[in-house]
Amino acid sequence: MKRGILIAILIIVIFVIFMGLIAGFVYMQLNREPYIADNSFLKINLKGGIEDNEDSPFSKAMTVEDLFYHIKRAKIDKRIKGIILKISYLRTGFSITEDIGRIIKDFRKSGKKVYAFIYCGGIKEYYLATFADKVYVFKGNDLFLTGLATEAIFLKNTLSKLGIKAELFHIAEYKTATNIFTQDKMTSAHRESVQKLLDDIYISTLQGISKNRNIKLGSIKKIVNESPVSNARYLKAGLIDKTIYEDEILKDLKTDYKITKFETYRRTSSPKPFKAKKKIAVIFASGEINSGRSGGKSITGDKILGSETISKYLRIARKSPSIKAVVLRINSPGGSALASDEIRREAELLVKKKPLVISMSDVAASGGYWISLSSSKILALPQTITGSIGIISGKFVLKGLYGKIGLNKEILKTSEYADMFSDYKEFTPSEKEKLMRVMRKIYNDFLIKVAKSRNMKVADVDNIAKGRVWSGYSALKLNLIDKIGGINKAFEEAKKLAKIPASEGVGIKIYPKKKSLMDSILDLFFNYKGAKAKIENPIKLTIEEKLIRYKQFFPAMMMPFKLIVN
């Protein structure tokens, strides 16, 4: 009997050791650094949606974070001799497109070459390609270099047919975020604001093409107005260098360089300058601003940018002695006024101890602009959407919808305004006045904070505020930002403000860090918080929790529209 137990124990021990060895072997294989040949060209596929960052270990998506970090590495890596970009249709904003171009331009300062191959695309994809030394186009497909267009939809009449009334209010006239629900067409302020923004993005893009290709702006405008035209026409105008098939690129370069996939290169370790003791933190803040933790999607489909999460990263950077400066990369249309101020306060505490440079991405508007105010410098790209200094609030009245489906409600209350935000009644005149009073107070506070941050008079801020969005190009003229520049420029500015010599190597600390596989699995089933392991169901929220989130969101600092170009 005893012998049988001992044999069973021995078998279990051998099995555990065997499985441990297998697990160790698999781990070593998965984490083994790939071999990078000398004379390598990095091949980077740029297509679809490119976000600023992604913390999921399951994601293989290309991000600005990866491009910024690993192209900086490749710039000083002797094995890497250049980059080949393969560009297809992009589902990202013009600012992120330009910032990737600027990262490429910075790489070229090392003397290494970059060649762009456009597989398919329009003016956005072409603009990105112009940051390379040469622009090749797929021989079997013509470019589509037309101008820019956008559309706006309005749901007032649709909601009315469903028995829903949007009681949504805004300060001021250009704060048109609620117009989708309250109007059946563009107001004059809405039309003026969108057209100006579209024109700014368009002219900034053409100016960039003109500079990158050394072609007169007038010539660029002429051919874009004529487009779509054949690739032969673009060749003749000097906009592209050659039509070619992908397999012919290296032959055309007359080189025996090896090709290394970017996905392979980003699994390699960093060179010594990136491991320096002095570090600059780069914090990515992307999504609609809400109270609590980041993660999940908002009702508009945007990522949720949690005030608790971003505040934690700012606090870590403030308290870390090795971090000498911080770049806060913002890509947000705004959101909760309460959550926005929580982040702004943490930034305010940080900037008292070390430099904080804001790098605006595609959008840093309303609440996204609010959290920029406590900083050393604000940088944006020409096509960045920013400003939107204004407030919205209100509710949807669903009584008509409830009637259509036979649902009835009765309201009991202890005081006159306890049911103010009930979806079963409209605001009374006194309730509306109280809500507008709160909104005016927040708006005035917004003006005062901008005036103080930008060294302006409150009345002058009000003149350019009123909820209006501006491009980075216009924001610079209006003193809403300090400089035009992307994430690389912001990094250099942070290094300079930290008084680190340009020649000195500096480490890069990025937040949020990539999640571990285990954290991601736990997050899938629970709302996991490290050692606390607090368990709650993130999907099935109670009515009370939904109500609390709703009240925390309004009044809101949201940009007045979502601009989707072409």
User: Per the structure, how many domains does the chain have?
Assistant: 2
- What DSSP letter does each residue of 517-547 carry, written as one string? HHHHHHHHHS---GGG-----SSS--HHHHH
Sheet order of strands, 134-138 included: 242-244, 134-138, 113-118, 80-90, 40-48, 258-261
Shared domain check, 295 and 235: no
Identify the top-confidence range among 18-32, 403-417, 518-532.
Answer: 403-417
CA 287 – CA 293 distance, rounded (Å): 12
Instruction: Determine which helix (DSSP H) or strand (DSSP E) holds 324, and give its type and residue range.
Output: strand 323-332
CA 130 – CA 126 distance, rounded (Å): 6
- Inside any domain, residue 177: no
Shared domain check, 482 and 523: yes
- Inside any domain, residue 284: yes
Q: Is the pLDDT of residue 356 over 80?
A: yes
Per-residue model confidence (pLDDT) at position 534 = 38
Per-residue model confidence (pLDDT) at position 530 = 41
- Inside any domain, residue 169: no
Residue after which a domain boundary falls, among 240, 265, 290? 265
Q: What is the mean predicted confidence (pLDDT) over 507-512?
A: 92
Higher pLDDT, 541 or 74: 74
Amino acid found at 27: Y
- Give the range of the structural domain holding residue 132, as residue numbers without chain letter: 40-146+227-265
- Inside any domain, residue 29: no
Higher pLDDT, 24 or 457: 457
Shared domain check, 321 and 254: no
Shared domain check, 280 and 261: no
DSSP one-letter code for 184: S
Shared domain check, 362 and 502: yes
CATH number of the domain bearing residue 136: 3.90.226.10
Average pLDDT of the chain, as a whole number? 86
How many CB atoms are located within 10 Å of the residue 155 CB? 16
Farthest CA pair distance, the chain: 95
124: burial class by Cβ within 10 Å (0-12, 13-18, 19+)?
buried
pLDDT in tens, 228-282: 999 999 999 999 999 999 888 877 777 778 889 999 998 887 666 667 889 999 9
- Inside any domain, residue 508: yes
Which tokens is 4 given?
A: 């049988």
Contact in structure between 518 and 528 (CB atoms under 8 Å): no
Per-residue model confidence (pLDDT) at position 141 = 84
- Inside any domain, residue 193: no
- Inside any domain, residue 302: yes
Q: Is the pLDDT of residue 552 over 80?
A: no
CA distances from 74 to 71, 336, 477 (A): 5, 40, 35
Shared domain check, 350 and 440: yes
149: burial class by Cβ within 10 Å (0-12, 13-18, 19+)?
exposed
Residue after which a domain boundary falls, among 219, 239, 265? 265
CA 399 – CA 181 distance, rounded (Å): 16
CA 433 – CA 419 distance, rounded (Å): 15
